[in-house]
Amino acid sequence: MTVGRIVTRPEAARLWDNDNLYDADEWAVDPEQSGTLLDLHRRLDPALTKRLRFETKSGPKGLCFISDAELDNQATRGVRELTPESAALLDRIIAVTDRLPKSGQTVTITGEVIGDETPATPGGKQKSSSVPTYLLTWNPDHWDGEIKPMMNWSCGHTKRIQPGDRLFLISQGREPRGVCASAGADSGVTEDVDGRFVAMRLEAYRNPEAEPILSRLALDELNQGAEPPMKWGIQSSGTQIPEQVAQRLEQAWRELLGGSPTDPEEPPATATATGPAGRVVAEVSRIIRDTQLADRIKELHQFECQLCGHTIVLPDGSRYAEGHHIQPLGAPHDGPDTGDNVLCLCPNHHAACDLGAIPLAICDVRRAAGHVVGLCFIDYHNRVVYRGSGTA
């Protein structure tokens, strides 16, 4: 903004036709009177914030959260332009909340405040601001094609799925039956002559024919004591999973993907070093790493760095990349040797992460089917390991 003149508070109230201004003696006015007011008395709740989308070269993109309610500290890096729908949403929020009384305290703006939702359900229970979770169905007997990282998937009759909503894929028909994939909605519902679809961005996939999945028996156990329960045998795709069951499903799915660390009771290795200077026998205590785990993750990403996409092609035609533990193993970090704590990186980015030279943002980490990166480990890196002001 270019400052055209400085006015008193009464003059500012007259110019903006609004007497509900901060109690400041002087106000800066730009020549066209088109500057945006800086309203520090309000903030958006996570559910509203997750509805915002920004234009990027690869299409609309949401802000990056490191938890259900906390934005990544690099969330606005590279953000330049809101989508028209998000700009209209912010305009509506500003219009509705501009005249709220300013009490000196920060006000959290929810969908209820701007008239997007009612405060309670007919039964008197408060509506939840958690991310809606939907079940998409797949019958391999009807379609046995390749499950890809990005796909348009049938969502039955529903029109409610929004960008950022949580999706789970259940295999039906022949055994084994059960939940075999998790994903995020990359779009709202689109419709054509073949039906309604949602753009599904795959996060993790288990091949029902070769890998363990969450069986129907395990899913039925998630319903115990839940009201309402989830009908896992439903044939229609796009059914919303009740919140309590969805939370249990998230936990069970994470436990299934997490695997188990290597046996900590494996005895330490003993190494002998010899040479011209004499002979030394040294007992070396080392961390037992699951090298097969790192190799599997590198293969899932085709040995391409999850931060820059680069790979090193060796003379024999094979590819080289390195496995990086986001929360380092051993003291003082004591990170786990599990798949969600491992990244496939090029040597440069591996060194930069090890040395704490760059921050990490989950939305900048490249994905591959079968590999889920833990938000808690990204958060640990940014809070504890990262030491500088560099960028990835």
Interval 309-349: pLDDT, tens:
999 998 888 899 999 999 988 778 888 888 889 999 999 99
Residue 377 CB partners (closer than 8 Å, separation 6+): 326, 327, 335, 340, 341
Mean of per-residue pLDDT scores for the chain: 77
- Top pLDDT among 288 and 339 is at 339
What are the tens digits of pLDDT across the range 123-139? 444 444 357 899 999 98
Contacts of 179 by beta carbon, 8 Å cutoff, 6+ apart: 168, 169, 170, 171, 213, 214, 219, 249, 253
Q: How far apart are CA 84 and CA 371, in angstroms?
A: 33
- pLDDT classification of 167: cutoffs 50, 70, 90: very high
**According to the model, what pLDDT value does residue 127 have?**
40
Share of the chain above pLDDT 70, in %: 74
Domains of the chain as residue ranges with CATH: 5-109 (no CATH), 133-258 (3.10.590), 270-385 (no CATH)
Residues 136 and 185: beta-carbon distance below 8 Å? no
State the Cα–Cα distance between residues 244 and 229, nearest whole angstrom.
9
Q: What is the mean pLDDT of residues 168-189?
A: 88
So what's the pLDDT on residue 41?
67
CA atoms of 335 and 267, how far apart (whole Å): 20
Q: What confidence score (pLDDT) does residue 392 get?
A: 55
What is the value of pTM for the model shown? 0.40
Q: Residue 266: its pLDDT value, please?
A: 37
Please give the full DSSP string across 37-65, using - where no structure is assigned: P--TTEEE-HHHHTT--B--TTS-BPPPB
Residue for token digits 């090193």?
A: 312
CA dihedral (15, 20, 23, 24) in degrees, to 10, reads: -20
Specify the DSSP class assigned to residue 218.
H
Name the band, by pLDDT with cuts 50, 70 and 90, for residue 307: very high
Q: Which of 115-124, 180-189, 293-302, 373-382 has the lowest mean pLDDT?
A: 115-124
> Is the predicted pLDDT of residue 308 greater than 50, yes or no?
yes
Mean of pLDDT values over 35-57: 74
Residue 250 pLDDT greater than 80, yes or no: yes
pLDDT at 306: 94
Please tell me the distance from the alpha carbon of residue 95 to that of residue 113, in angstroms, as a whole number.
12
Token code pair at residue 36: 């945006």
Residue 183 near residue 200 (C-beta atoms within 8 A): yes
CA 211, CA 168: separation in Å to the nearest integer?
Answer: 17
Look up residue 126 and give its two tokens: 């408060």
Over range 258-283, report the average pLDDT.
Answer: 43
Q: Locate 349 and state its tokens.
A: 């980015």
Q: How far is residue 342's CA from residue 324's CA, in Å, rounded to a whole number?
A: 5
Q: Rounded mean pLDDT of 297-302?
A: 92
State the pLDDT at residue 20.
64
